[in-house]
Structures are given as structure tokens and as C-alpha cells.
């Protein structure tokens, strides 16, 4: 865990670079925006905190409630010394998020509006799906799930690429009260196995294979391998396979069936299951500092309110506009800002199957031009990669439809910010830098494009209902300008409610560090204007291309290699990914370091977790810097990975190490690698 001093140093570097300019909202955009000024934002924010009953109650009443809620709440406990952590919004209500995302719009006469604009991997494949179409498919697939025995509260694992059927499957689960667990299509069989053993789903929905750029990616064979690996831990009764490519696909008799065959046997009549406000909607696995990935559980009503409100206000979405988020539905960004948020607002949401560099680095801007995209939302890592490809790829496409640009996943560096702002957005589009997490379900700290003056690199101010605080090492709230740990004081509607099957873990990871607070795991600085500057993770989590990677997970994979005795993993600066994965590996006696061995170690990490966890650097070393009690001093490893030329004096106190001599050896090795 970093100390407050480490956070302060980082914060000073981050904000100094970004604070020179203030970018006020463009006047014409502000005049037509849902929230038109900073004063209006402040008044709304005040009400959201002082009177959530009115503020969120009024927002929530636009939805259909089969049984209206008795009160908004929140009824909650954030203090472990007073009992279990509990968060409860919209008490007594019954609703269904699928109904609100689809049926409600169709019933109001908007069935012919486009819900999903699907853009294939190949630029000449596209499809447009109306709300009516999606609802029809969802009802049918809900019937398929029912025919497989899926009932309210059961879990369903979805391992799929970016095909419309993935959104359909999510909504079909929600329709019948089943809990979806989407596993990102890039995870390895071993990673799928772990998530399935935890979720115990009897039904898996997958796809034969998909093209990503010029490369075919097999999905069904990965699922088969995962089921084989996990056959002693769980039983899968049905695998439904969507056919995307025409190639061979192994099918197991009695277990595996084709999506299109199943859909042909069911009707498009399927009533919604009305569920309690707090009924779990989905879980999504995410990495932390220790142990296996946790299944973060989200609720129905609170999540519905949160994903909808943030989508509408932060992207300032107006009827008829076309919105595009480049994320994959395998991550929380895709759940909240491709599927649920946009559909709840009756938006047209673009779903892209391919990669930003295929057939060339202009693909994103070609799609913006083709579909006249108004809001474009991506991650800093993509911005940096596209920036490197050169301005021509951008400027040859018409981007005049763009109104708002978004960023998510990590702090956006000022250089990337300015390129995004001036080249992509022609200095016309505000950039909403949205800070949030898998656990928060929706945006926590974010500008509103018509209201908030921007500072490049700052996520700016809290969204409605969010009360951030900056804590010192002892958990004391700091006032005014301050650096420290980012924590949240009261529940916001879309807060995660638990870890699947392990509430104690949920409590210990998020609520035990400082009594009475949700602790985000990020450091931050609040400046004199009350703006928040996120400085990055303060725990043993690396943010690789905006995706969270637990160092412990990578270490566990490395030590599975027969030659590896011990491993320690830290983040290193990476031009495109933001952070790369740097591994210190101690070999077993008799093993000799070599390039082949390094390649083998990288391969085992890919096999255990997936290509996204591939190490960027492997440094063989004779030992690790350990204290006399055997604890690895990661601070030293992090500093060396960051800057191998660092002065020994800057490494801090190393006198408590069992063998201080190891540090010079590590530094030597790091210099050779760099």
C-alpha cells in the first residue's frame, strides 16, 4: 500500500502538468445541455446529497415499477463495527431493468427507433437493430434460457465477442431475473474455469469464433477447455453456441446446441419476472491486490438509476443522437455504457466488433463519419495508440457530427488529452474524463459537458449523490486542498452490494481499511477549486490499458513454471498501455536464465490469465528485497522498474532488509534490461 506521501508526490506531478489551462464549456453546447451551468450543477448536486428522497425519487419515477417503492433511502450501514455492510435503495419496489430498457420504449411507440447500430470487424458488415427487434430477440432468448432450466436467481455465464447476441443474452437474463456473469472473450480457459467454479452456472452462452482484425479468435474451444479443466468443480448442463463464422466447431451431444436452432423452437412471448429493487442483476469479476478475482455484484434498481442518470447527463444525450462507446461488454464500461445506460435512455448505441487499427488506424473516425456519431467514448490507451498513428488518419474523415468526447480507465495524460481535444475534437468538443470502477457501477467523478470547466487530467467534480472524501493515513478526512486516499462517505445508487458468495470478502476489501467509508483503492488530490485529480492505484493492482490486473494473480501464474522459484510483479511506465507488467523472477537452483525461459514465463501467464496479462519485462534476479520478517519491499521494485537509473539514495530506507546487498544487484539487472 502506498503512503499518503507517495500519493502527494504523484499528485503534484499530475496536476502541475494539467492545471495551466481551464477549458470552459462551449456556449452553444451549454445553452442546449441538460445541465447548463456550474451553478445549476451545484444546486442539483446539493439536492442530491441533502434530499435524495426527492432528487432520486423523481428520477426513478420515470421508470416502470410493477410495485412502486415505498421510500428511496438509502437504508445502509458503512460501518463494520455496527454490523454487516448493507446498501439498500428504493425499498419495497418491484421492477425489471429489461422492461425499462426495451418494453417501455416500444409501448410508448418508439419500437422503430434504432437501439443498436452494430458495426462488424470488416468495414462492410453492419446491421441496425430497432428496439422492437431487440425486444423480440430478448423474449425469445429468455424462453431459450427458461427451457434450459434457468430460473430467477440462477447465474448464466456469457463468453462472447461483440455481437448483438451478447447484449440480447444479458437482457434476456435480466428479463427472467437470472444473474449474468460476462467473462471477457480474451480470457484463457483457466481464467474462465475459475470464474465458472465461483459462479456455478449451469448454462454457458458462447460463440464459435470471431475475427478480430485479420486474426480469427476461437471461443468455443476455450469454453470446452475450461469445462474440461473444471469438471470436478462444477457441472455445466447446457452450452448455447452462437454461430458467427462458417468454420468447424466441435459440439458435444446432449450439452451443446446452436443459438439459431434454439431460437427457432421458441415463441416471442415472455413476460418479465418482476424483481425486488435489490435483486442482483449481474456479477462481473475484477482483480484486486490479493487472491482470486472477485465477482462484484450489482443490484437492479440502484444500478438502473445510476447507469441511466450518468449516461444521460454526462454524455448530454438527446433523442436521435448516435452514441458510441468503444469498450467491450466484457468489462463494466460495456455493461453500463453500451448496454444498460444507453438503452434505458432510448439511445442509439453503436456496438463495434473489431479493433481500432483494422483495416487501418482510421477505423474509429471512419465509423464516426459513417454513422454520424455524436458522442465518442474511449480509453487513454486507445487515444495514445491512435495519436501515434498520425493525424492524417483522423483528418481524412468528417468528424463534424462529434459533440462530446469521453475518456475512461486511467488518468489521461495532458499530451493525449490535448491531441484528443484539438485534433479529434477540433477544439469544439468537451472531454468528459469519467472516473469510476467496476465496483461503483457508474461514474463517480466526472465533468458535465455543459456545466464543468475542464482541466486536462482531472476528472473534475463528483456526480449527483456521490460524496468523495480525501483521507490521510489514519483515515481522517482532510479539508480543502489535500492529497490522500480517495474514499466515499455514503452509498450512491449503483454501488456494488457484495462479492458473489463472499460478503465477508466484500467487507474486508472495501470497508475495513477506514471505518465508515468505501475505500476505492486510488490516491487523489483535491485542488483549491475542489477538483479531483486521480493519481492511480495505491494497492498492488496495475492498470494495464485501463484494465485492472492484480499483481498476485500474475505472480501465481509465474510460479507455476517449473523453473520459477519466486516472483514479484510491479507496474512499469508504458508509452501506450499506461502501465506495463514488470516481473522479477528468481529461478530454482540449477536453472539458467535465458531468452527462451523468459518466453516460457510469458507464455504461462498468457495461458493462465490471457493475452492482456502478458508480461512486458522479465528480470531474472538472485533474490527479492525482503524484510527480516520475509515481506517483499515492493516500493523498491516499483521504483527500479520505473527508473533503473535511479539514485540509490532515492530508493529510501533499505536498512530493514534482510540482505540490503540485493538492491544493488537488482538495479544492475534492471539497467541491463532497460
Residue numbers of the site for ligand WT7 (CB under 6 A)? 286, 332-333, 408-411, 433-438, 459, 520-522, 534, 536-537, 543, 546-548
Q: Find, among 379, 376, 417, 382, the residue nearest to 397 by Cα.
A: 376
Q: Find, among 481, 460, 457, the residue nearest to 535 by Cα.
A: 457
Q: Across-strand partners of 77?
A: 86
Q: Is the peptide bond before 605 cis (omega within 30 degrees of 0)?
A: no
Give whichever of 336 and 619 is closer to ligand WT7, judged by the CB atom: 336
Q: Could you tell me the smallest distance in angstroms from the CB atom of residue 549 to ligand WT7? A: 9
Instruction: Report the alpha-carbon distance of residue 630 to residue 624 in Å, rounded.
Output: 10
DSSP per-residue letters across 56-91: HHHHHTTS--SB--SB---EEE--GGGSS-EEE-SB
Instruction: Report the alpha-carbon distance of residue 627 to residue 654 in Å, rounded.
Output: 9
SS (H, E, C) 616-673: CEEEECCCCCEECCCCECHHHHHHHHHCCCCCHHHHCCCCCECCCHHHHHHHHHHHHH
Q: Supply the DSSP symbol for 460.
A: B
Question: Residue length, the chain?
Answer: 674
Q: Could you tell me the smallest distance in angstroms from the CB atom of residue 333 to ligand WT7? A: 5
Strand-strand pairing, 126-130 and 114-119: antiparallel
Q: Could you tell me the smallest distance in angstroms from the CB atom of residue 458 to ligand WT7? A: 9
Give whichever of 130 and 413 is closer to ligand WT7, judged by the CB atom: 413
Q: Could you tell me the smallest distance in angstroms from the CB atom of residue 436 to ligand WT7? A: 4
Q: Could you tell me the smallest distance in angstroms from the CB atom of residue 601 to ligand WT7? A: 25
Burial of 449 per CB tally in 10 Å (0-12, 13-18, 19+)? buried
CB-hemisphere CA count at 13 Å for 86? 11
Give whichever of 181 and 333 is closer to ligand WT7, judged by the CB atom: 333
Q: Could you tell me the smallest distance in angstroms from the CB atom of residue 566 to ligand WT7? A: 27
Give whichever of 326 and 619 is closer to ligand WT7, judged by the CB atom: 326
Give whichever of 521 and 669 is closer to ligand WT7, judged by the CB atom: 521
Q: Could you tell me the smallest distance in angstroms from the CB atom of residue 442 to ligand WT7? A: 9
Q: Could you tell me the smallest distance in angstroms from the CB atom of residue 153 to ligand WT7? A: 25
Q: Which residue is nearest to ligand WT7 (CB)?
A: 438
Instruction: Report the alpha-carbon distance of residue 559 to residue 567 in Å, rounded.
Output: 7
Give whichever of 94 and 537 is closer to ligand WT7, judged by the CB atom: 537
Give whichever of 25 and 330 is closer to ligand WT7, judged by the CB atom: 330
Q: Find, among 39, 15, 12, the residue nearest to 451 by Cα.
A: 39
Give whichever of 93 and 456 is closer to ligand WT7, judged by the CB atom: 456
Instruction: Report the alpha-carbon distance of residue 466 to residue 191 in Å, rounded.
Output: 33
Q: Supply the DSSP symbol for 435.
A: B
Q: Could you tell me the smallest distance in angstroms from the CB atom of residue 573 to ligand WT7? A: 15
Give whichever of 182 and 534 is closer to ligand WT7, judged by the CB atom: 534
Q: Is the peptide bond before 359 cis (omega within 30 degrees of 0)?
A: yes
Residue 230, C-alpha cell as written in the block: 473444471
Give whichever of 69 and 324 is closer to ligand WT7, judged by the CB atom: 324
Q: Could you tell me the smallest distance in angstroms from the CB atom of residue 134 to ligand WT7? A: 24
Q: Could you tell me the smallest distance in angstroms from the CB atom of residue 99 to ligand WT7? A: 26
Give whichever of 238 and 494 is closer to ligand WT7, judged by the CB atom: 494
Instruction: Report the alpha-carbon distance of residue 615 to residue 504 in Å, rounded.
Output: 32
> 3-class SS at 15?
helix
Q: Could you tell me the smallest distance in angstroms from the CB atom of residue 335 to ligand WT7? A: 10
Q: Could you tell me the smallest distance in angstroms from the CB atom of residue 276 to ligand WT7? A: 26
SS (H, E, C) 321-370: CEEEECCCCCCHHHHHHHHHHHHHCCCEEEEECCCCCCCCCCHHHHHHHH
Q: Could you tell me the smallest distance in angstroms from the CB atom of residue 384 to ligand WT7? A: 14
Phi, psi (degrees; rounded to nearest 5) at 94: -130, 130
Q: Which helix (H) or strand (E) holds 40?
A: helix 38-50
Q: Could you tell me the smallest distance in angstroms from the CB atom of residue 22 to ligand WT7? A: 18
Give whichever of 434 and 498 is closer to ligand WT7, judged by the CB atom: 434
Give whichever of 332 and 385 is closer to ligand WT7, judged by the CB atom: 332
Give whichever of 209 and 429 is closer to ligand WT7, judged by the CB atom: 429
Burial of 479 per CB tally in 10 Å (0-12, 13-18, 19+)? exposed
Q: Where are the beta strands (DSSP E) in 154-222?
A: 155-159, 179-182, 203-207, 209-212, 215-218
505, 507, 508, 513 alpha-carbon torsion, rounded to 10°: 160
Give whichever of 411 and 491 is closer to ligand WT7, judged by the CB atom: 411
* Beta strands across the sheet bearing 348-352: 126-130, 114-119, 348-352, 322-325, 375-378, 404-408, 431-434
Amino acid at each position: 500500500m502506498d503512503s499518503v506521501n507517495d500519493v502527494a508526490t504523484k499528485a503534484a506531478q499530475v496536476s502541475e502538468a494539467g492545471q495551466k489551462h481551464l477549458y470552459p464549456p462551449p456556449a452553444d453546447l451549454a445553452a442546449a445541455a441538460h445541465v447548463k451551468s456550474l451553478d445549476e450543477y451545484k444546486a442539483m448536486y446539493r439536492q442530491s446529497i441533502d434530499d435524495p428522497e426527492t432528487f432520486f425519487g423523481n428520477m426513478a419515477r420515470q421508470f416502470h415499477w410493477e410495485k412502486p417503492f415505498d421510500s428511496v433511502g438509502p437504508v445502509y450501514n458503512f460501518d463494520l463495527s455496527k454490523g454487516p455492510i448493507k446498501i439498500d435503495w428504493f425499498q419495497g419496489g418491484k421492477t425489471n431493468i429489461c422492461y425499462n430498457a426495451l418494453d417501455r420504449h416500444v409501448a410508448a411507440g418508439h419500437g422503430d427507433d434504432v437501439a443498436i447500430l452494430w458495426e462488424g470487424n470488416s468495414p462492410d458488415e453492419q446491421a441496425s437493430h430497432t428496439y422492437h427487434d431487440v425486444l423480440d430477440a430478448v423474449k425469445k432468448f429468455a424462453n431459450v434460457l427458461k427451457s434450459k432450466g434457468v430460473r430467477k436467481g440462477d447465474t448464466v455465464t456469457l463468453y462472447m465477442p461483440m455481437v448483438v447476441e451478447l447484449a440480447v443474452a444479458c437482457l434476456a437474463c435480466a428479463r427472467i431475473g437470472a444473474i449474468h456473469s460476462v467473462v471477457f472473450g480474451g480470457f484463457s480457459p483457466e481464467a474462465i474455469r475459475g470464474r465458472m467454479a465461483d459462479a456455478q452456472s449451469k448454462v454457458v452462452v458462447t460463440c464459435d469464433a470471431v475475427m478480430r482484425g485479420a486474426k480469427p479468435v476461437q471461443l468455443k474451444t476455450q469454453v470446452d477447455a475450461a469445462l474440461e479443466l473444471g469438471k470436478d468443480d462444477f457441472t455445466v448442463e447446457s452450452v448455447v453456441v452462437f454461430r458467427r463464422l462458417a468454420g468447424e466447431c466441435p459440439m458435444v451431444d446432449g450439452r451443446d446446441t446452436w443459438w439459431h436452432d434454439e431460437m427457432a423452437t421458441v415463441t416471442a412471448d415472455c413476460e418479465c419476472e418482476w424483481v425486488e429493487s435489490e435483486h442482483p442483476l449481474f456479477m462481473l469479476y475484477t482483480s484486486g491486490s490479493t487472491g482470486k478475482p472477485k465477482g462484484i455484484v450489482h443490484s437492479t434498481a440502484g444500478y438502473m438509476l445510476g447507469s441511466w442518470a450518468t449516461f444521460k447527463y454526462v454524455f448530454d444525450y438527446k433523442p436521435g443522437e448516435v452514441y458510441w462507446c468503444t469498450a467491450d461488454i466484457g468489462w463494466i464500461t460495456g455493461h453500463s455504457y453500451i448496454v444498460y445506460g444507453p438503452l434505458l435512455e432510448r439511445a442509439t448505441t453503436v456496438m463495434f466488433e473489431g479493433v481500432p487499427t483494422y483495416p487501418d488506424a482510421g477505423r474509429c473516425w471512419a465509423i464516426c463519419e459513417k454513422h454520424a456519431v455524436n458522442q465518442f467514448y474511449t480509453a487513454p490507451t486507445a487515444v495514445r495508440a491512435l495519436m501515434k498513428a498520425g493525424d492524417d488518419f483522423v483528418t481524412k474523415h468528417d468528424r463534424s457530427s462529434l459533440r462530446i468526447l469521453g475518456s475512461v480507465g486511467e488518468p489521461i495524460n495532458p499530451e493525449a488529452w490535448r491531441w484528443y481535444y484539438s485534433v479529434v475534437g477540433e477544439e469544439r468538443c468537451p472531454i468528459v474524463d469519467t472516473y469510476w470502477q467496476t465496483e461503483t457501477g457508474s461514474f463517480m467523478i466526472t465533468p458535465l459537458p455543459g456545466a464543468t470547466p475542464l482541466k486536462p487530467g482531472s476528472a473534475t467534480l463528483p456526480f449527483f449523490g456521490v460524496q468523495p472524501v480525501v483521507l490521510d493515513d489514519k483515515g481522517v478526512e482532510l479539508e480543502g486542498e489535500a492529497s490522500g486516499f480517495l474514499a466515499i462517505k455514503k452509498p450512491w445508487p449503483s454501488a456494488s452490494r457484495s462479492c458473489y458468495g463472499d460478503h465477508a470478502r466484500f467487507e474486508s476489501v472495501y470497508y475495513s481499511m477506514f471505518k465508515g467509508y468505501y475505500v476505492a483503492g486510488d490516491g487523489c488530490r483535491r485542488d483549491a477549486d475542489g477538483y479531483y485529480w486521480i493519481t492511480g492505484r495505491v494497492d498492488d493492482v496495475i492498470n494495464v490499458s485501463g484494465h485492472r490486473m492484480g499483481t498476485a494473480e500474475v505472480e501465481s501464474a509465474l510460479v507455476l513454471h517449473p523453473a520459477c522459484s519466486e516472483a514479484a510483479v510491479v507496474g512499469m511506465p508504458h508509452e501506450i498501455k499506461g502501465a506495463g507488467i514488470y516481473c522479477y523472477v528468481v529461478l530454482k537452483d540449477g536453472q539458467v536464465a535465458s531468452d527462451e525461459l523468459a518466453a516460457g514465463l510469458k507464455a504461462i501467464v498468457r495461458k493462465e490469465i490471457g493475452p492482456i496479462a502478458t508480461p512486458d519485462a522479465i528480470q531474472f534476479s538472485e533474490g527479492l528485497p525482503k524484510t527480516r520478517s520475509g515481506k517483499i519491499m515492493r516500493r523498491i521494485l516499483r521504483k527500479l522498474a520505473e527508473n533503473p537509473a535511479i539514485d540509490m539514495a532515492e530508493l529510501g530506507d533499505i536498512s530493514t532488509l534482510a540482505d540490503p546487498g540485493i538492491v544493488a544487484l537488482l538495479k544492475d539487472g534492471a539497467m541491463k534490461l532497460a
